[in-house]
Amino acid sequence: MNPLLCFHSFYTQYLNRPNGVRFVAPAGTTEFAKRWNPQPGDIVSFKHRGFMLSSNKPKLPTLYRIRTDMKWDDVVHNWNEQIITPNGTL
């Protein structure tokens, strides 16, 4: 899971990663949105299916949980950018 900063609440969230990439992610389930109700400034984890090569945005992101055990400074300090190289033939 990847922790990140939440910018909006309700079912769809506007999110910011430590590398500056912003994207939109819906709650994984309506139960998540009702139970946790993420607020602006909350640290959340999300699931995804890889990253787009050109924009570095996650593919099909969904919110997974709220991280009450972390602060934004912890996320930035622990951030490790992975360099993705395409494989295969074009």
Q: CA nearest 43: which of 85, 6, 83?
A: 6
The pLDDT of residue 57: 87
22 CB neighbour count, 10 Å cutoff: 12
Give the model's pLDDT for residue 58.
87
Distances in Å between the Cα of 74 and the Cα atoms of 21, 63, 67 are 18, 19, 11
Q: Judge contact between 86 and 55, C-beta under 8 A.
A: no
> Residue 10's pLDDT is what?
47
Low-confidence ranges of the chain (pLDDT < 50): 8-10
| pTM of the model as a whole | 0.66
Domains, the chain, in order of start with CATH, read 2-78 (2.40.50)
